[in-house]
Amino acid sequence: MTYSDYSTALVTGASSGMGEATVRMFVARGLTVHAVARDGARLDALADSLGVIPHAVDLADTDAIESELGGLRVDVLVNSAGVSRQGNVLTSTRSDLDAMVDVNLRAVLHLTRLFLPGMVDRDLGHIVNISSIAGHYNFFGHTAYHATKAAIHQVSRQLRNDTLGKRIRVTEISPGRVETEIFGRNLGGSPEAMKEAWATYFEGYESLTTDDIVSAIDFALSAPRHANIGLIEIMPTFQVPGGLTFDRRAE
């Protein structure tokens, strides 16, 4: 299955970061793109410049997902939207946990529920799920974020079983640190927070860029139709998941 087999794509988290970069790549590849995000102003700007079809939707709202997106035909679904929080489950609020489960996992399941049956009927489709190395390795990060990304890993595997015998391909992209706005949003999202996040997490590091992630997605979709690229783990060369922590108590 190559790009010539597909005509439409839907990308979540389309107003920034990996989602926006994916939208731009798909448009360049000739696909009609449905761009989904909460930020209507950014989506309208993308629509004006690229001709995408904007959908300002809160992915935590299942009724809104069904109302706005339920009738679409989609050949390629890219679940790129994601949220994180600082701290861990010990410092979480109810809204922290709900936001991560709602956007990172529940929305992915509902979007798949809406679009996968049509892909099966047409014997054609590709789902790309953006997970994280947090779904594969335990390191210090938010417990719920790790949990939701681990769930996306399993969902991606399971969808291959659900669609056995059909030309449905499922790819999980599992990145390490990527230069996006997520760290700045965790700090409050203000211009000052964005500057602080850049200085803390990116300045002086050779991090991944959104172009690196888009190249991986492009590779998976461009593979011949008999080949499913199931999992791509992509990290900066200087970032590794290894390490062992052994704490010590005085008493």
HEC string of 153-204 equals HHHHHHHHHHCCCCCEEEEEEEECCECCCHHHHHCCCCHHHHHHHHHHHHCC
Residue 180: pLDDT over 80: no
CA–centroid distance for 129 within its chain? 6
Distance CA 86, CA 142 (A): 7
Q: What structural domains and CATH numbers belong to the chain? A: 3-233 (3.40.50.720)
pLDDT, greater one: 93 or 141: 93
Q: Does residue 77 sit in helix, strand or coil?
A: strand
Taking every pair of C-alpha atoms in the chain, what is the biggest distance, in angstroms?
67
Whole-model pTM: value is 0.92
pLDDT above 90 as % of the chain: 78
* Residue 58 in tokens: 């809160």
Query: Of the ranges 91-95, 99-103, 178-182, 214-218, which one carries the lowest mean pLDDT score?
Result: 178-182
Q: Which positions are annotated as active-site residues?
A: 145
Which tens digits make up the pLDDT trace of 182-213?
Answer: 776 776 768 777 777 677 767 788 888 999 99
Residue 54's H or E segment, with its range, is strand 53-56
What is the 8-class DSSP label of residue 14?
T
Distance CA 43, CA 32 (A): 15
**Helical ranges in the chain per DSSP H:** 17-28, 40-50, 62-69, 94-100, 107-122, 143-162, 182-186, 191-197, 210-222
